[in-house]
């Protein structure tokens, strides 16, 4: 019973992590879009490049988080299909659904790590860019 509880906790924490990064990605992207509408925001050409790459990475993070969520739903559906097939005695079908679920689980983790790393990269570039843009005000 303890392993079932820990498995449920792990699933919940994974969902929280995906949702946290997804929410932060959307917030940073909104912040960047808001900055672009500000007439006082005038980065140089190099700073524009960093800003554009940063916004692109943050957008990719949000897209990966969305795909990760959709993929997890597909994985849960395959897990339910596995249980249903086992209850009905269709072991071959259960094995097929179990393998599908295993593959979806691997993809979910890949999407999560991609989401996390590109978010980190995008925010790091944005911080670096702000340090260059607002150097006179900061130092």
CA nearest neighbour of 97 among 105, 108, 3: 105
Domain parsing of the chain, residue ranges? 2-36+43-134
41: helix, coil or strand? coil
Cα of 39 vs its chain's centroid, Å: 31
Q: Looking at residue 42, what is its pLDDT?
A: 86
Res 2 pLDDT > 80: no
How is residue 93 written in tokens?
Answer: 């079908």
Name the pLDDT band for 67 (thresholds 50, 70, 90).
very high
Res 138 pLDDT > 80: no
CA nearest neighbour of 52 among 122, 134, 133: 122
Contacts 24+ apart (CB under 8 A), 94-102: 101/75
pLDDT tens digits for range 69-127: 999 999 999 999 998 999 988 889 999 989 999 999 999 999 999 999 999 999 999 99
How is residue 34 written in tokens?
Answer: 């808001």
Beta strands in 37-83 (DSSP E): none
pLDDT tens digits for range 15-46: 999 999 999 999 999 999 999 999 888 888 89
């Amino acid at each position: 019973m303890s392993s079932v509880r820990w498995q449920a906790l792990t699933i919940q924490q994974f969902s929280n992590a995906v949702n946290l990064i997804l929410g932060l990605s959307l917030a940073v992207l909104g912040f960047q879009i808001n900055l672009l509408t500000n007439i006082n925001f005038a980065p140089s050409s190099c700073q524009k490049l960093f800003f554009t790459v940063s916004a692109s990475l943050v957008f990719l993070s949000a897209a990966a988080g969305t795909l990760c969520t959709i993929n997890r739903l597909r994985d849960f559906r395959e897990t339910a299909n596995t249980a249903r097939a086992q209850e009905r005695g269709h072991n071959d079908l259960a094995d097929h659904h179990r393998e599908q679920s295993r593959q979806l689980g691997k993809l979910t983790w890949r999407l999560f790590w991609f989401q996390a790393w590109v978010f980190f990269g995008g925010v790091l570039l944005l911080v670096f860019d702000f340090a260059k843009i607002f150097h006179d005000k900061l130092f």
